[in-house]
Amino acid sequence: MVTVIHPNLEATDAKMNAKDVSVYYSDKKAIDNVSIEIPSKYVTSFIGPSGCGKSTFLRALNRMNDTIPTARVEGEITLDGEDIYRSKMDVVQLRARVGMVFQKPNPFPKSIYDNIAYGPKIHGIAQGKEELDEIVERSLTRAGLWNEVKDRLSDSGTALSGGQQQRLCIARAIAVDPEVILMDEPCSALDPIATAKIEELIADLNGNYAIVIVTHSMQQAARVSQRTAFFHLGQVVEYGRTSDIFTNPLEQQTQDYITGRYG
C-alpha cells in the first residue's frame, strides 16, 4: 500500500526523512515500508490505533530501538541528509540532536538541577558552573517550570507532581539544544490540567524545534500539530496537513478512525 499524501501539502524543508523504513522485532514486521518527511518548523503528530507501530517508528528516529536486542531497522532515515543508521554519525551525537520525551515522566532520582544539568554535562556543553546555571534556568524557563521550582532546585525531581515531572523531562531534553524533539504520548499519564500545560508548552516550542508527537487523542493532534500522519498496521495510510486530515480525509480508514468508528 502506498501512503496517500494530500495534494495541497506545500513543500517545506525536511529535517528528517524516512525512506522505505521497516522495523522488525525478531521476525515480526512492526513497521512496513514507511516513507515520511519530518518538517523542520512544524509539529508533526502520529495518530492511529494501538499497536499500529507509531511508537516503534518514533523510536526508530533516534535509534532507541537499538536498546531492544531483537529489533532490526531496514531502509533509510536521514537527519539533515545524513543517514543516521549507516553514516559515521554516532548514536550519542544523534540522540543529542534528536531528543525524546517518554509516555511516563521519567525524571532521574536526582535533584531538579542535576536532572537538567545531566545532558549538558555528559555532552560537555557547559563551560563552568555559571554557564551550566544559565542553561538550567533557560531550559526550565522554556519549559514553563522555572517559577514553580526556582526556590527548590536541589529537591529531588521525583518529588514533583506528574505534570511538573513531564515538563522537567521536556526541559531536560531542551537543555542539550536538540534539533528534533520526539514525544511518545507525553500526556497519557497526566490529568487534563497538566495536559493543557504541556500542550501550551508544545505550542511555545513550535518553530524552534522540529517536534514529533505520538498521541491517542485526536483533539490533541488537532490542537498542537500542523502535520499529521495516520498509522495503521505498521504503515502510514495518509499524511498531510492536520487540518486536511481531520476535515477532509481521503482514505476510508482514516475517516473511520477520526470519526471514532474504530481504534
Partner 1 sequence: MSPAILLLLAVGLGLAGWLVARARAWAFRSNADNGRLAALPTYHAWYVALWILVPLGVFIVIWMVASPHLIEQSVLASPAAADLPEFAFQRDTLLREANAVANGTANAVFNEGAKPLVEPFREAIGFYNLIGFLSTLIIGFLCGTWAFLQLKPDFAARTRVEKTVMAALMLASLVAILTTLGIVVSLVFETFRFFGMVSPIDFLFGTQWGPDPMSNPDNPDPSRFGAIPLFWGTIYIGAIIAMIAAIPLGLMSAIYLTQYADQRLRAWLKPALEILAGVPTVVYGYFAALTVAPFIRDLAVAVGISGASSESALAAGLVMGVMIIPFVSSMADDSIAAVPQAMRDGSLAMGATKSETIKKVLVPAALPGIVAGIMLAISRAIGETMIVVMAAGAAANLTGNPLEAMTTVTFQIVAMLTGEGSFDHPATLSAFALGFVLFMVTLGLNFVALRVVKRFREAYE
Closer residue to partner 1 in complex, CB, 99/240: 99
Closer residue to partner 1 in complex, CB, 94/236: 94
Closer residue to partner 1 in complex, CB, 90/151: 90
Asked if residue 99 binds partner 1 (CB under 8 A), the reply is: yes
Asked if residue 118 binds partner 1 (CB under 8 A), the reply is: yes
- Please state the closest distance from residue 92 (CB atom) to partner 1, in A: 5
Instruction: Spell out, one character per residue from 129 to 158, where the chain touches partner 1: x when CB under 8 A holds, - when not.
Output: -----------------------------x
Asked if residue 96 binds partner 1 (CB under 8 A), the reply is: yes
From residue 40, give the alpha-carbon distance in Å to each of 26, 79, 105: 33, 10, 25
Task: Pick one of 104, 138, 216, 223: the residue that binds partner 1 (CB under 8 A).
Answer: 104
Closer residue to partner 1 in complex, CB, 165/253: 165
Q: Count the site residues for partner 1 by CB under 8 A.
A: 28
Closer residue to partner 1 in complex, CB, 15/232: 15
Using only C-alpha atoms, the chain has a radius of gyration, in whole angstroms, of: 18
Closer residue to partner 1 in complex, CB, 1/122: 122
Closer residue to partner 1 in complex, CB, 124/260: 124
Site for partner 1 in 29-48 (CB under 8 A): none
Which region, judged by CB under 8 A, interacts with partner 1, from 108-116, 127-135, 147-155, 192-200? 108-116
Task: Pick one of 64, 143, 210, 214: the residue that binds partner 1 (CB under 8 A).
Answer: 64
Asked if residue 62 binds partner 1 (CB under 8 A), the reply is: yes
Q: What is the 3-state secondary structure (H, E, C) of the chain?
A: CCCEECCCCCCCCEEEEEEEEEEEECCEEEEEEEEEEEECCCEEEEECCCCCCHHHHHHHHCCHHHHCCCEEEEEEEEECCEECCCCCCCHHHHHHHEEEECCCCCCCCCEHHHHHHHHHHHCCCCCHHHHHHHHHHHHHHHCCCHHHHCCCCCCEHHHCCHHHHHHHHHHHHHCCCCCEEEEECCCCCCCHHHHHHHHHHHHHHECCEEEEEECCCHHHHHHHCCEEEEEECCEEEEEEEHHHHHHCCCCHHHHHHHCCCCC
CA distance 43 to 225: 5
Q: Which residues would be at the binding site for partner 1 (CB under 8 A)?
A: 62, 64, 67, 69, 91-96, 99-100, 102, 104, 106-110, 118-119, 122-123, 158, 169, 172-173, 176
